[in-house]
Structure 1
């Protein structure tokens, strides 16, 4: 799995993801006049403009674009995951990546929520601040919610000693999963952890807490196939409203195929 900025060659693929998702999902919630409005609102020209401005990112699985995310300033404008790839955590993963980027400049983010997506956004901590209505063709009204979420800045005063985490999301080329448990330790800027469970027999990591609160470390483990795997990782922490920490990670194997991936760890 790769999540990266879209380039001009991705315009048609992003357009297809958005349009196919609208065609498949939206008629279950909206009359056709509203569906047609979304078709036009997310036109190829609009997507091309956003890509050229650097607002759009894409999620690739085995080189194929299966999802996309877009934001302008602190406004999230276009999150779409192909129907056949939904319920795998990809939408949540994209949202968390966008939140990290927005939080670098803003303390709040907002979006206009369609009916199919509103429940997901509520689970991610968004609250409705107002209801809006927009007239489309034939007197039909599009109703939607404007939702907002306060963002938590990267914390530089977290002490990781004794904190436990499990992966909520990981790239397909990764080996840790929801059955893997991490126990972290810290002494000053020195960070280390043990992990095991699922496909991992035993693993450990060691690294440092940077001055901006982010983490850099290397890791190695023995998997169930008795293979030793090694890698490196950069992790960005955020503190949630409940006080728990989430770690948004970008990692790379330093053995095997040297492929890259991304993961999201949540404190338990």
Structure 2
């Protein structure tokens, strides 16, 4: 059984592991080793713990293990990763539902995300629309947006 819950500081090391493993195994198909190495530096356990102070962070748990994460910082979706061996099982969608519910309860009408090339199709299936491609050095991302329907 997989559960989605708010992350705690105690999850920082496990979140770091999921993110770094996913970058190396999944995102490496679309990005150079140089880009992946630069990104890995942003996701140490210390960096994750610092990010958690300004973001609402969710984790997916299976057998007491963090297997995915997603975060919301103001109206921007951040750090959505699912361990490669758990991808394509609906976990990312469940994490995004939690992020979107949090955004709705905060009164937000839309969300944006700077998607990796690797995840662009995933966000498109969730209703996000591509706005433009952006480059950060040699790292290409896709700025995407979704209008949120408010649920009663």
What is the TM-score with the length of structure 2 in the denominator? Answer: 0.93
Aligned positions of 1:224-235 closer than 5 A:
none
Which has the higher relative contact order, 1 or 2, with Cα contacts under 8 A spaced 6 or more apart? 2
Aligned positions of 1:171-186 closer than 5 A:
none
Match of 1:14 in 2: 15
Q: Could you say which structure has the higher strand fraction?
A: 1
2:111 paired residue among 66, 85, 109: 109
Q: SS of the counterpart of 1:78? A: strand
Measured in 2, the distance between the counterparts of 1:109 and 1:91 equals 16
Q: Structure 1 unaligned runs (5+)?
A: 136-140, 156-268
Q: How many residues align?
A: 150
Deviation at 1:54, TM superposition (A): 5.2
Equivalent pair of 1:128/1:145 in contact (CA under 8 Å) = yes
**Cα gap change, 1:46 to 1:148, in 2 (>3 Å):** same
**Cα gap change, 1:112 to 1:60, in 2 (>3 Å):** same
Q: What are the Cα deviations for residues 121-174 of structure 1, in whole angstroms up to 9, with x where unaligned?
A: 001100111211111xxxxx111110000000113xxxxxxxxxxxxxxxxxxx
Match of 2:139 in 1: 142
Match of 2:99 in 1: 98
Equivalent pair of 1:67/1:80 in contact (CA under 8 Å) = yes
Q: What are the Cα deviations for residues 65-110 of structure 1, in whole angstroms up to 9, with x where unaligned?
A: 1111111111001111000111110001111111111122110000
Match of 1:39 in 2: 40
Q: What are the Cα deviations for residues 2-49 of structure 1, in whole angstroms up to 9, with x where unaligned?
A: 211111211111110111111111221111111112212323222111
Q: Structure 2 unaligned runs (5+)?
A: none
Equivalent pair of 2:54/2:73 in contact (CA under 8 Å) = no
Aligned positions of 1:1-268 closer than 5 A:
1-53=2-54, 55-104=56-105, 105-135=107-137, 141-155=138-152
Measured in 1, the distance between the counterparts of 2:42 and 2:9 equals 19
> Whose Rg is larger?
1
Equivalent pair of 1:34/1:142 in contact (CA under 8 Å) = yes
Q: SS of the counterpart of 1:152? A: coil
What is the TM-score with the length of structure 1 in the denominator? Answer: 0.54
Q: SS of the counterpart of 2:118? A: helix
Q: SS of the counterpart of 1:88? A: coil
Deviating beyond 6 angstroms after TM superposition, the runs of 4 or more aligned structure 1 residues are none
Q: Could you say which structure has the higher helix fraction?
A: 2
Measured in 2, the distance between the counterparts of 1:115 and 1:42 equals 19
Measured in 2, the distance between the counterparts of 1:118 and 1:13 equals 25
User: Cα RMSD (Å) of the superposition?
Assistant: 1.3
